[in-house]
Amino acid sequence: MAHLSAIDYATASEDIRAEHDRELKLRGRMTNMKRILLHSPAAHRIYAEWFTLRDLLKPTLDDRAIWLFSKAIAETMRAEIPVTFFRRALIDSGLDPEAIEPTAEEALLM
């Protein structure tokens, strides 16, 4: 399996540093996964669009519904990293992802 290293901010191109700085300003946190994605600022922006979707859904849905919706999409796509992310969000909020009884509204999203 190939290993991708995180970007080195000091030697990164101007567009990579700009995307890095934008991410920190927007979300205040830079994970290793984000640092790896930043090898392609476009790939990082595509990943970060989930946060845009979440913000658009927030007035209508609570966090649990958004996480279940997003987890269902990730499972359908067989995308292990996002599935793990949304499972962790549910667990961190005190829920057992395997034992959740979805509400009628949540069931429509799943």
Residues 10-27: tens digit of each pLDDT: 999 999 999 999 999 998
d(C-alpha 13, C-alpha 38), whole Å: 10
Q: How far is CA 14 from the centre of its chain?
A: 24
pLDDT, one tens digit for every residue, the chain (110 residues): 668 899 999 999 999 999 999 999 998 988 888 999 999 999 999 888 888 999 999 999 999 999 999 999 999 988 888 899 899 999 999 999 999 999 999 999 98
The pLDDT of residue 1? 60
Burial classification of residue 37, based on how many CB atoms lie within 10 Å of its CB (0-12 exposed, 13-18 middle, 19 or more buried): buried
Task: For residue 11, give the DSSP letter.
Answer: G
Domain ranges of the chain: 1-48, 61-110
Q: Kindly list the distances between the CA atom of residue 31 and the CA atoms of 20, 70, 95, 102, in Å, as whole numbers in the listed order.
A: 11, 20, 24, 30
Q: Is 60 helix (H, G, I), strand (E, B) or coil?
A: coil
